[in-house]
Structure 1
Amino acid sequence: MNNLQKTGKSNTYESSLIKPFSDINKLITILQPSSSNIATMGRQKINLPESEGKLIYLLHEGSIALNRCNDGMIISSERAPFIFGLCKQITYSGNVFMRTQETSKISYLPLDKANEIITKNNLWEASCHIMMYIAARVFTNYSQLSQASSYEIIRHQLFELMNESTSVRNTVSAASYIKERTFLSRSGIMRILAELKAGGFIDIDKGLLKKVNQLPSRY
């Protein structure tokens, strides 16, 4: 494995972004009584009618991916707990749709109603923290795609995959996970994964990522 070099320990599974769990849980607690439940299965598109208007989605269990409408590419994904829709204060964000990654527990309520409850309970600061996190997540993902090498993109996505739930990691192959989120070819992804496996940097069984040991920073 000539091209891969060990360059010291890596912070496996860790991200520089800190998810605002306290703020998320505060909002979910106060919004849940006014929300309606949605029954879901794995890899189900969340497609409520436009007549419902702008909506807030509360993710209580499971995980959801945001996909681009034009090509289905996943631009971001989040595990529970989380809140989707806060960033639709000005636009509908009609260029993306949501899909569950596993059986998930979700509820929803109109954005206008959520805004009223947030104002009444003085929780706009918490809402702002969540929106800042969402913006940072999307920016980080797009920066990886536009500026990094193929190996750096795959390295980043392997860390993202290890941060997914066990249910997701046990059902979605590493190659498919990366392909759904990048512009890389499947053959290129498979080649790099094979070299990482051969070098003992990752553990993959039947295509499923089991463990990231120590990924080199350069390829």
Structure 2
Amino acid sequence: MTIPTRPDDSMQCLFSALEPVGSEIKVIPRKRMSWEYKGKPQLYLFMEGEISLVRVTDGLVVASAYDPHIFGLGEAIQPKRYHILRVEKKSRILAVDVENALKIFDEQNLWRDVSTTLAYFNAYLVYRDEMVLQQRTYSVIRSHLQEMIGLPLEARLNTSILDYIRLRTHLSRSSILNVIFVLKTEKHIEIKRGGFLVAINNLPEKI
């Protein structure tokens, strides 16, 4: 199971088209964002910082973004509210009215890039489901450790392994810590004081 490939070229095309008409908004860290701004549906261009996509029903973190990203494409076309956005730390975010965005997509013939980006989002949700719904506790933890090591070092040193996995799964604190203890003891992973992931040396298929 591998993480879907991010369509950087298509996302950059959308960013280039939408950024000139975006309005920067101020959001307090840890605040949840609405898909509407001043009563109008929005797309959000996440420029820098950290933001998470959270499932409405149980607060499970579906994904976190640290690089430029675009949110709200699916909601613009099918306005369901299964997820919300939560800003994790000081971030730079631009809001774009959906009505204006759709006109730009038409005028600049960007629907192929929109479709490519939406296909990536859909594939990522399937990937996340596979990670979370695996039956074996170790397999779930192993997958999340592999995901964590791909994050920027700053992000890894700001979120402990325990917090990262608990926010994204329904695994108990004790089951996570037990596995992490074994992996650390057997030197499969390197952890900084406080439970922060520094390095992965080798993750066995099972323990």
Using the size of structure 2 for normalisation, the TM-score is: 0.91
* 1:121 and 2:108 matched: yes
State the 1:127 CA deviation. 1.0
Q: Which runs of 5+ in 1 are unaligned?
A: 1-13
2:52 aligned partner, one-letter code: A
* 1:43 and 2:30 matched: yes
Give the counterpart of 1:210 among 183, 198, 202. Answer: 198
Distance 2:39 2:152 in 1: 30
Q: Which has the higher strand share?
A: 2
Post-superposition Cα deviations, 1:139-166, rounded to whole Å, max 9, x if no partner, equal 1111222234111111111122222233
Structure 2 residue aligned with 1:198: 185
Using the size of structure 1 for normalisation, the TM-score is: 0.86
How well do the aligned residues superpose, as a CA RMSD in angstroms?
Answer: 1.9
Distance 1:164 1:100 in 2: 17
State the 1:170 CA deviation. 1.4
1:173 aligned partner, one-letter code: S
Distance 2:90 2:66 in 1: 12
Give the counterpart of 1:187 among 174, 195, 200. Answer: 174
Structure ranking higher on relative contact order (CA contacts 8 Å, 6+ apart): 1
Structure 1 residue runs of 4 or more that deviate by more than 4 Å after TM superposition? 48-51
Q: Secondary structure at the match of 2:6?
A: coil
Which range moves more in the overlay, 155-164 or 87-96? 87-96
* Distance change in 2, residues 1:93/1:160 (3 Å): farther
Structure 2 residue aligned with 1:8: none
Q: Secondary structure at the match of 2:162?
A: helix
- Whether the aligned pair in 2 keeps the contact of 1:101 and 1:168 (CA below 8 Å) is no
Structure 1 residue aligned with 2:43: 56
Query: Percent identity over the alignment?
Result: 29
Structure 1 residue aligned with 2:13: 26
State the 1:41 CA deviation. 5.1
State the 1:49 CA deviation. 5.1
Distance 1:168 1:44 in 2: 18
